Amino acid sequence: MTDALENPNYPVPDELKSNVIVTTIDRLYNWGRRSSVWPMMFGLACCAIEMICTAASRYDLSRFGMEVMRPSPRQSDLMIVSGTVTKKMIPVIVRLYNQMPEPKYVMAMGACASGGGPFKEGYNVVSGVDKFIPVDVYVPGCPPTPQALLNGLIKLQEKIDSQSIASVPWYQSGNSEPVPVPLLGPDLIDLRQRPLFNQLAKQPAAQAVTE
């Protein structure tokens, strides 16, 4: 029995191997969680169309218990960031993320959400949503086909499977800290960088970075 538990029949990614403590309760707990991941009904750009196709007739997300797309962040477990994240949109995305209850997962779907994508050089584009919120699974592609997205969702299920009720952060003491919502000034302002701003303002020589 223990052998089977220690060697689950799904591949456990290397970076998660150290914290795998599989117990029977964990199995039940994770089975419940992984079979009812409710994504947020939240589309940004081109990838959202492929996300809708994944939920539609041909690929049918409900086979994974994920068809309940919730329009409210309060009811959702997974945010699929499906498209280009712009500076004008990132404050909204961060706010939505802060409103999601734990446990929450984020998937960066497509090149744009992962790292800026083909529009990376643009003046209104954020170089990947992980600059602001933690991402659990990245799905490359521009846009990822529905099967690629499903592959990413299965990867997410594997990640959920590898977590243990004893060590998951949302049962530890206290609530998680919300991510500070960036502001829209002359350009996007990441408030976590306030010390850097002040330091730069003090030494005018370093301002060569900007025009």
Q: Site residues for other proteins, window 104-123 (CB under 8 A)?
A: 108, 111, 114-123
Phi, psi of 12 (to 5 degrees): -100, 125
Tell me the β-bridge partners of 78.
39, 105
Q: Contacts with other proteins: how many residues (CB under 8 A)? A: 89
Q: Which is nearer to other proteins, 58 or 173 (by Cβ)?
A: 58
CA–CA separation, 55 and 67 (whole Å): 7
Among 8, 141, 168, 179, binds other proteins (CB under 8 A): 141
3-state secondary structure of 109: strand
Q: Which residues pair with 139 in a beta bridge?
A: 109
Residue of the chain from 139, 160, 161, 163 that contacts other proteins (CB under 8 A) = 139
CB of 24 to other proteins, least distance (A): 26
The 3-state DSSP class for residue 86 equals strand
Q: How far apart are the first and last CA of the chain?
A: 65
Which residues ranging from 27 to 66 are in contact with other proteins (CB under 8 A)?
A: 41-46, 48-50, 52-53, 56-60, 63
User: Which of residues 16 and 28 has its CB atom nearest to other proteins in the complex?
Assistant: 16
